[in-house]
Amino acid sequence: MTGGLSGYDCHRDHGPYAGVAAFLARVAADRPRLASRHQVELYAIAPWLDPTARPAAEEEPIRFHPARRTACLAYGAAEFVAAWAATLRQPVTVRFDHVADADETTRELLDTLTRRTGSSSLRLNLRDGGAREPAGPDPTPEATRAALGDSLARGFYHHAARTAARGRASVTPEGDLRHWWAFTTGLATALAALDRAAEALDLYDEARAATSDPKITMSAAYATAMLYARHLPASRQDPARARHWLEQAIRLAAGLDDPRQRVVSTVFYEQGVALLDSRAGEPARALRLIDDGLARLAAVLAPGERPQDLARLRHNRAQVHLALGDPEQALADLDTVIAHDPGNCEYYVDRAALHRAAGRAQAAIKDYDTAIRLGPHLPEAYYNRAVLQHERGRPEPARDDLERVLAIEPAHLDARIALVNLEMERGELDAAEENARAGLALAPREPALLCTLGLIRSERGALAEADDLLTRALTGDPELVEAWTNRAAVRFERGDVAAAVADLDHAVALSPAPVPRYNRGTALMRLERWDEAARDFADALTRPDLDRALRRDLRTALARCRRALRG
């Protein structure tokens, strides 16, 4: 594929990933072997490429994708295009039209492509105008409902919200209650995923005012409970209200005519109660409720039926076992969960955390590998794998993973801090300073980044700037031992030994580590306070797992203090 490619119409009327999906499909046809390494993201963006795919809404997901999944898809697709662009023998220009009117998924992917391929032979020509492909005729409520279900199941919530709003405008609760409710609850689901839960709450209030249909009011009650339990801002979450609405949902479920559906719905809603019980410090009560639910489902479901529902309950039970201090039972549940629902990346992340806590680093890394493949490109899986790689003395794989996290989610502060610290350990001050400043541009008050940047500036001899940065770090986190220790070192070097001792008093009060005591002892020696210095050195020598060099320095300093005290 060479030269220029004709325009791709990106207008939102053509749905999520309009234009860019067709471009990716063309690249995939050109490089099938490369495309095979990016199947998860390509199939999610351009599902017609998957010969085994069914409409996403037919999968009946019991959990919806997080909204940030589209950033992960964009990262994977951009890596695919970048690898293809690296093989080009001459420059190629690709034109995308109606970018200003594109769906959010399209704009996000184009932004990611622009960043990733900026120095390659691929040139992106992004235009707001261009030829328009004709949009389809006004769809029927059935077609709109199918499109809504597909967007929700695929995690494309901005498009889902627009589709649901159009559907609601086309029907009324009096004229077509079934479709009106489908559009209303679909819109509420999309808004909750987009951190607009308060608007979703209003929609459920509207539904209760519009109808007394028991199935609708039952579903609205459960959804309202979950808004109060999970999705509203922390200041508005209300466990008591959540419990009230769950009780309403369970009461209405008890009146369902179909005895099998009555059991399934009741057990499903009771999982919300178990969540509230566990959060309220009653994990044993939550465990009883989950065990009882599993037993009741087993009595009404055929073997192999609704495996995802059963997996969800066992996943909930694993979390409760953890709260009860039983990680081995939690692990056993997660093993069963993954056997029943092997395509859910969340389960591998949770199991990896258990392996990691038990010291099974290789098993944890294997689970993170799987989560990244299924996710795809989960930032938290990359980050946790990076931490493990660093702990195992493998800084380069750790760096690669941290850089991937930041390519997907530039505001991921933990990854930024870890990358800066890794670069500091390797003496890469320029890279560390650049990354620290990049992090502070997004979070100007982040104490850990202020502290590390202060250390970098002190290494470069900018002591006044370092003092200011470390002071700002301590304003944000007065218990940050590293900031007290580093500011003490700066003040010691600037000749203010008394101020250094005062800072180290704070560090010693906060931490039993030997370094603050060694540093304070050194400052006290400068003030000829030999007895106090000797106590610090002697105390530090009692600490376990002392570095050999530090032990030698402590013994030397203690001997010097004792000579001074003998006169």
Contact status, residue 482 vs residue 503, Cβ threshold 8 Å: no
**What percent of the chain has a predicted confidence (pLDDT) above 90?**
89
pLDDT (tens digit per residue) in 145-157: 999 999 999 999 9
* CB of 383 closer than 8 Å to CB of 418: yes
* Length in residues, the chain: 567
Q: Which pTM value belongs to this model?
A: 0.87
Residue 140 sits at φ, ψ, to 5 deg, of: -75, 165
- The 10s digit of each residue's pLDDT in 501-537 is 999 999 999 999 999 999 999 999 999 999 999 999 9
Residue 59 has pLDDT above 50, yes or no: no
CA distance 276 to 548: 50
Annotate 54-83 with DSSP letters as a single string.
Answer: --GGGG--SSPPPTTHHHHHHHHHHHHHHH
For the CA atoms of 262, 266, 269, 273, what is the dihedral angle to 10 degrees?
Answer: 170
Mean pLDDT, all residues of the chain: 94
pLDDT of amino acid 138: 79
- The pLDDT tens digits of the residues spanning 230-243 come to 999 999 999 999 99
Closest CA to 100 of 76, 63, 129: 129
Backbone angles phi, psi at 210, to 5 degrees: -85, -25
Structure-token match 């199939």, residue found: 43
Tens digit of each residue's pLDDT (9 = 90 or more) over 441-496 = 999 999 999 999 999 999 999 999 999 999 999 999 999 999 999 999 999 999 99
Please answer whether residues 473 and 480 qualify as being in contact, where contact means their C-beta atoms are separated by less than 8 angstroms: yes
**DSSP-derived 3-state class of residue 48:** helix
Dihedral of CA 235/239/245/246: which sign? Answer: positive
Distances (CA, A) of 253 to 120, 216, 263, 274, 378: 58, 11, 8, 17, 36
Query: Helix (H) and strand (E) counts for the chain?
Result: 28, 3
Per-residue pLDDT, 4: 53
Spatial CA neighbour of 313 closest among 332, 327, 333, 329: 333
**Residue whose structure tokens are 């594109």:** 102
Rounded Cα gap, residues 456 and 453, in angstroms: 5
